[in-house]
Amino acid sequence: MGGPPLMLLYEKLHIKKDTVRGCNAVLSVLQFRVIAYALTGIFTREDLLLYVAVSVAGLSGLCLGSHLAARMDQATFSRVLVGLMLLCCALLFASSAGLTGR
């Protein structure tokens, strides 16, 4: 489980921002499931370049997030978290309505 449900849980339980960021780094950036995908044949050599590119983008986002988090208090972090939940909700509705261009 991840994404908006996890963000809602963090917000409602008033989890500190450093804990949220640490959990998300482990769950999102490290991508332990890729090992299982590689072992089962779901992840192939052709996927390697894409995975490396996405990993670099994820690590760049992690660095940017660390920089921004250092300048943000807990209340601001909570507002940003709620904003991201609303954005994810809007994108989900747009996708289900066929507004994604696909």
Taking residues 34-38, report their average pLDDT: 77
DSSP letters along the chain, please?
Answer: --SHHHHHHHHHTT--HHHHHHHHIIIIIS-THHHHHHHHTSS-GGGHHHHHHHHHHHHHHHHHHHHHHHT--HHHHHHHHHHHHHHHHHHHHHHHTTTT--
Closest CA to 61 of 102, 97, 15, 24: 24
Judged against a pLDDT cut of 70, whether residue 1 lies above it is answered with no
Which pTM was predicted? 0.53
* φ, ψ at 89 (rounded to 5°): -65, -45
User: pLDDT band at 102, cuts 50/70/90?
Assistant: low
Percent of the chain with pLDDT over 90: 0
